[in-house]
Amino acid sequence: MIFYQKLVLKSAISFKAFTLLLLNIIQFHLFTFSALPMLAQFDVNLVVLLVLLICGLLSQNAAVTIAAGVLIVVKITPLNEFFPYIQAHGLNLGILILTIGVLTPIASGKLSGESILKSFVSFKSLLAIAIGLLVAWLGGRGVKLMSSQPDVVAGLLIGTVAGVALLRGVPVGPLIAAGLLSLFIGK
């Protein structure tokens, strides 16, 4: 287990190392926890995660690969008891980490106070502010829609993951996609 901890703690996990780690954990799980009878039942969700993992590997998309791999490990180990916590707090934690990443240039001084003030006088910067406001509003509508109509979540997630894996997008799309959908269906 120490090997796994050292491998995961490296700052840049290569796809090959991550895949080997995942395969070792699956093999360890199969032979240690007697999961063979459990895996005899067909689990569509696990198959979907495996397909997403393969798509992430083939498209060399670290976000999809790591997310699918981590969820597979959680699913096939006793860590699966944490799924309710991940479902309840994962989105908020992801938004928090994304916000920290966006604000880091301000905190580090890479984006000076002078350039922040200049953003209120340039046309491109004012347009960027307006688009930022629109996207934040759409994201808020998306969260409400995903909460009130869970039947659209699967389609939004499939479209977003396909966009991430195949079009090299980033996985912030479900909220914006749901916000755009809410404009069309009136919620």
Q: Is residue 93 part of a domain?
A: no
For residue 80, what is the DSSP state?
Answer: G
Do 123 and 71 sit in the same domain of this protein?
no
Q: Is residue 176 part of a domain?
A: yes
Q: Is residue 101 part of a domain?
A: no
Last residue of a domain, one of 27, 55, 76: 76
Do 125 and 66 sit in the same domain of this protein?
no
The whole-angstrom separation of Cα 57 and Cα 19 is 9
Q: Is residue 98 part of a domain?
A: no
Q: Which of helix, strand or coil describes residue 17?
A: helix
Asked if residues 49 and 75 have their Cβ atoms less than 8 Å apart, the reply is yes
Do 27 and 71 sit in the same domain of this protein?
yes
Q: What is the DSSP string of 86-118?
A: HHHHHHHHHHHHHHHHHHHHHHHTSS-HHHHHH
Q: Is residue 100 part of a domain?
A: no
Q: Is residue 161 part of a domain?
A: yes
pLDDT tens-digit map of 98-146:
889 888 998 998 988 888 888 788 888 888 888 888 888 888 888 788 7
pLDDT tens-digit map of 147-164:
787 778 778 777 877 777
Do 132 and 178 sit in the same domain of this protein?
yes
pLDDT tens-digit map of 35-92:
445 555 778 888 888 888 887 787 777 877 888 899 999 999 999 999 999 988 887 8
- HSE-CB of 136 using CA atoms within 13 angstroms: 8
The whole-angstrom separation of Cα 46 and Cα 48 is 5
- Work out the mean pLDDT of the chain and round it to a whole number: 76
Do 72 and 119 sit in the same domain of this protein?
no
Q: Is residue 104 part of a domain?
A: no
Question: Total structural domains in the chain?
Answer: 2
Q: Is residue 99 part of a domain?
A: no
The whole-angstrom separation of Cα 164 and Cα 63 is 8
What is the token pair recorded at 100?
């920290």
Among 135, 101, 131, 137, smallest CA distance to 119 is for 131
The whole domain housing 178 covers 112-185
What is the token pair recorded at 43?
């689990």
Q: Is 97 exposed, middle or buried (0-12, 13-18, 19+ CB in 10 A)?
A: exposed
Last residue of a domain, one of 30, 48, 76: 76
Q: What is the pTM of this model?
A: 0.60
Do 59 and 116 sit in the same domain of this protein?
no
Last residue of a domain, one of 61, 76, 91: 76
